[in-house]
Each structure stands twice: as C-alpha cells, then as structure tokens.
Amino acid sequence: MNNQKDKIIFVKEEMEILICHYPFWETLNPKLHLLIKQFPDEYKKSTNVKAKMTHYCVINEDFMKIGRWVHQKLPDILPHGLHSTSKFRLSDIWGALYNENDYTVSHRHRPLSFSFVYFVNAPKNSAPLIFDFSKQKIQAEPGKCVIFPSWLSHSVPKNKCKERSVIAGNFSFVPEILPFSF
Ligand SMILES: [Fe+2]
C-alpha cells in the first residue's frame, strides 16, 4: 500500500491573454459609465474589489452588448480546433467604479474558464490591470478589453484618479453532451 500523502506542487505555464478593442466604445461607454455610477454599491468593498461594485449578475441590455461581443471573441484565444463558442456561457457580469485609492487584491476566478475586463472610463492616472505572476501590466484605455484564462492571478493597484470604471465577467464551459453520469 502506498502511504504517500497528496500534495500540491506549483508549475510555471505560459498562457494566452487576448487584448482587443470594442469598435463602438465611443457611443456605448458613456452609457455604461453612467449605469455603473447609478447602480447601488452591492458589496461595500467586502469582495476582492475594494471599490464600488454592482451586483455580480447585472441584467442590462448595454452590459449584454459587451458580454455578447466578448463571447464572439473567445475563438481568438481558444486552442486550435476548439472554436465553438456555443460551448461557453456567460456566468456573470458586473461593473466596478474606482475612485482615488480604490484597488483590487490579487485573486483568481477559479473554477471558471475565461474572464474579461473591459475598460469603460479611464481618466489620466487610471490604475492598470496587473497579472501578478508575470507582472504583466495592462494599461487602462477606454474600449480596451482583456480576455484571459480565469485561473490567472490578477489585481489592480491603488487607483490615482476619480471614476475609473470597468465591466468584468466570466465564461464557463458547458459541454453539449455529457456522455456519462456520476
Ligand atoms: Fe478579477
């Protein structure tokens, strides 16, 4: 009998991050920014996001324009041969508003598949998005979207302006057919 204990070890891996730009950001972003400002602060900085945050599941047609567009972008980050976006479902989508000194602690979105951050409003001195392990810094820029594997650690350092806003969300993988049951 093997008495060795289970253990977790750490490995380094190279992961793809997709940076893309929503073509209609100039008309949509002012509406999204206003919505993020108007929605109530649901969590009062009790999550990883130490900034004003909407509910995790915003049901709003303008938010869904971003959700649907990101969904269509997923093939650009998927491995070759896994190009059916129909297998991915938007699990949640929310907004966040960062004022001076707001930030987000390092975290991951396990066990989801793909996550995104869409920059809505990014005044001068807006904090970047940082992938913690690689130290890769993504500068905030209105209309820019970052799509990444949900297991990557990321954070936002202290913001240095008023009203930096983002929309973020997650996609989960849903197999069309389960060939077995537990
Ligand atoms: Fe996050």
pLDDT per position as a tens digit, 58-117 = 999 999 999 999 999 999 998 766 666 678 999 999 999 999 999 999 999 999 999 999
Q: Is the per-residue pLDDT at 177 higher than 90?
A: no
| Segments making up each domain of the chain, as ranges | 24-77+88-97+111-149+156-173
Please state, rounded to an integer, the average pLDDT across all residues of the chain: 93
* 109 CA distance to ligand 1 middle (Å): 6
Q: How far is the CA of 8 from the centre of ligand 1 (A)?
A: 23
CA 155 to ligand 1 center in whole angstroms: 7
Q: What is the DSSP letter of 39?
A: S
Q: Indicate the residue type of 59.
A: I
**Arithmetic mean of pLDDT, 135-149:** 98
Structure tokens at 25: 């950001």
Q: 160 CA distance to ligand 1 centroid (A)?
A: 19
Looking at domain 24-77+88-97+111-149+156-173, its CATH class is: mainly beta
Closest CA to 103 of 37, 53, 149, 32: 53
Could you tell me the distance, in angstroms and rounded to a whole number, from the CA of residue 7 to the centre of ligand 1? 27
Contact assessment for residue 85 and residue 55, using Cβ atoms and an 8 Å cutoff: no
Contact predicate 40/96, CB 8 Å: no
